[in-house]
Amino acid sequence: MDGFFRLHDALHADEMDYDTIVIDCPPNLGLLTVNSFVAASHLIVPLQTAKFSLDGLKTILDTTRTVQKRFNAELQILGGLITMHNPRTAISQAVSDPIQEYIPIFETRISRAVAIEEAHLMQQTIFEYQGRSKVAQEYESFTDEVIGGIQKG
C-alpha cells in the first residue's frame, strides 16, 4: 500500500514553494501512473481521436474512481484534451462526441503537427522549436483553459 503514496509523500514532505506541479504520465496505468493519481488534485486526460482512446478512457475512469474511493477523494478530472486532432476527418468528430458523455472536453484541440515530433526529436519544447506555430498557440490556449478550470475549482 505504501508504494501508492511515494510520490504524494515526496511532494508533501517539506514545505515546497510551488504553485503547480505537472506530472506527465506514461500511457499506461502502472504503479507510476497510479502514484501520480494519488498525489494529484486534478487530472487531465490526453485523448487522440481514435477508437482506442474511447476504450482507454473507460479504464482510466474506473482507475480514477478506485483511487478516489481508496486513496485520494480530492482527485478531480479537469477534462479531456483532444490531441493529434484533424478537423477535416469524420473520425475526429465521431470520437470527440462520445467522449463528452464521460468527461468534459477542453475547448482547445491540439492539431496533428509534424512540428511536435520534430521538437521532440530535437529535445526541445514546441515553444523553443516553433514558438509562433499554430500548435504552439494551441498549447498556450490550452494552458489558459487549465489555469481557468483550476481556479474555478
Quote the pTM value: 0.85
Joined together, the cell numbers standing for residue 28 give 499506461
Give the mean pLDDT of 21-35. Answer: 86
Residue bearing cell 482507475:
63
Between 87 and 43, the more confident residue is 43
User: How do residues 105-123 score in pLDDT, each as one tens digit?
Assistant: 999 999 999 999 999 999 9
Going from the C-alpha of 10 to that of each of 14, 36, 106, the distances in angstroms are: 8, 11, 30
Domain ranges across the chain: 2-112, 114-153
Q: Which CATH class is domain 2-112?
A: alpha beta
CA–CA dist 105, 121 (Å, integer)? 29
pLDDT at 99: 86
pLDDT at 5: 86
Q: By the 8 A CB rule, do 36 and 7 touch?
A: yes
With 90 as the cut, is the pLDDT of residue 22 above it? no
pLDDT at 18: 76
pLDDT at 80: 93
CA angle 141, 147, 149 (to 5 degrees): 100
The letter for the amino acid at 149 is G
* Helix or strand run (H / E) with residue 118: helix 114-121
pLDDT at 65: 96
User: How do residues 8-20 score in pLDDT, each as one tens digit?
Assistant: 888 877 766 777 7
Give the mean pLDDT of 129-148. Answer: 95
Bridge-partner residues for 77, per DSSP? 43
Q: Give the number of other Cβ atoms within 10 Å of residue 146's Cβ.
A: 19
